[in-house]
Amino acid sequence: MLLKKLEEMARRYEEVNALIQDPNLIKDQKRYKDVMREHSHLTEVMEAYKEYKEVLQGIEDAKILITEEEDHDMKEMAREELHELEERQPKLEENLKFLLIPPDPLEEKNIIVEIRSGTGGDEATLFAAELFRMYTRYADMKGWKYEVMDASETEVGGYKEISFSISGKFVYGSLRYESGVHRVQRVPVTESQGRVQTSAVTVAVLPEAEETEIDIKPEEVRVDVMRAGGPGGQCVNTTDSAVRLTHIPTGIVVIQQDEKSQTKNKAKAWRILRARLFDFYESKKNAERAAARKSMVGSGDRSERIRTYNFPQNRVTDHRINLTVYKLDQFMQGYCDEIIDALGVYAKEEQLKEATASQQ
């Protein structure tokens, strides 16, 4: 079954190689991106397939030598080589099975992250600010760029909510599983008796949509302008620079007031609205499939508790994959790969199980 699938992909690789030579391809930018993405994936598969074929051939050659060679030393060398190659074979097969899973085109997208404080009052807003710093440090380490879209600061230095974009290579693919409720357990700075408090913050990770990817009819969006407000309701702007967009069919509302310019606020608001609508329609599209099987890494529901940050024990636990690491101090500094990578591997394993089950 594996070899049959690989031969099919080899034929498709030849077809795609011919396609990218066509000078007319670049005229259709969407198709060009799709073809180049498929070519990149198939190239990776073909490189692994080439190595796998070499190992299979090596095993065959070593078996022939052991059977037909009369020289004792040559037989021993062939046995050693056979042993080494047979150890490599299952690892290569496992890797190929993962590579055969088609890449999600959303994985390459840039994202908009929305962090909102939940239960816990001031402590929740402070933790929202810490999560923002954690993600931006992680972005710095990856060489990604980020930009604050909007922020509602509190008097204690936290955020009621903050939204920011992250752009770079494989951003959504890396952070897509961060959506959900992040719970923090620690002694708040305002707590005089040293009691541990539990607070919660909600994170939403939205793939950023291109204008051509989602059709928003102007008549379906109500645009209101108003004066921007600061912490505690104080007015921070004497001009009508804040913008509120209401998408009438879905009821999605975006308020943008971070910039002093109404034009800039409107541009950012449209970016956020496109991302929220794209996420809304993608979620709707995937709802039936998600209901028909066990979710890969949680439901993606914004209300689902996905992770606990326990400061007294220096512990961070991801509840979806039952992984606990006692490096919370490092995790909050942006060293998040251990859990983020484990989530990605788990999701691939679940996809592989699903693909295998559907073929039986």
Distance in Å from the first CA to the final CA of the chain: 11
Residue 226 lies in a domain: yes
Q: Does 199 lie in the same domain as 341?
A: yes
Domain check: are 49 and 117 in the same one? no
Q: Is residue 360 part of a domain?
A: no
Final residue before a domain boundary, out of 78, 99, 120: 99
pLDDT of residue 348: 85
**pLDDT tens for the chain, residues 1 to 360:** 788 889 999 999 999 999 999 888 888 888 888 888 889 899 999 999 999 999 999 999 999 999 988 888 898 999 999 999 999 999 999 889 888 888 787 888 999 999 999 988 899 999 999 999 999 999 999 999 999 988 999 998 999 999 999 999 989 999 999 999 999 999 987 676 778 999 999 999 999 887 767 888 889 999 998 876 654 444 444 567 889 999 999 999 999 887 888 888 998 999 899 999 988 888 777 665 454 444 445 444 556 789 999 999 999 999 999 999 999 999 999 999 999 999 998 988 888 877 666 655
**Residue 347 in domain:** yes
Q: Which domain holds residue 293?
A: 105-351
Choosing from 99, 122, 142, the residue where a domain stops is 99
- Which of 99, 126, 142 is the C-terminal boundary of a domain? 99
Give domain status of residue 243, yes or no: yes
Can you give the pLDDT at residue 33?
84
Asked whether residue 160 is domain-assigned, the answer is: yes
CATH number of the domain enclosing 13: 1.20.58
> 357 in a domain, yes or no?
no
The total of structural domains in the chain comes to 2
Q: Read off the pLDDT of residues 253-310 as tens digits, 9 standing for 90 and up.
A: 999 887 888 888 998 999 899 999 988 888 777 665 454 444 445 444 556 789 999 9
Which CATH number fits the domain that encloses residue 274?
3.30.70.1660
30 & 141 share domain? no
Assess if residue 85 is contained within a domain: yes
**Domain membership flag for residue 359:** no
Angle at 136 between CA 135 and CA 140, to 5 degrees: 120
**Block residue for tokens 């999605």:** 252
Instruction: Based on the fold, state whether residues 242 and 332 are members of the same structural domain.
Output: yes
Cβ proximity of 296 and 346 under 8 Å: yes
State the pTM of this model: 0.76
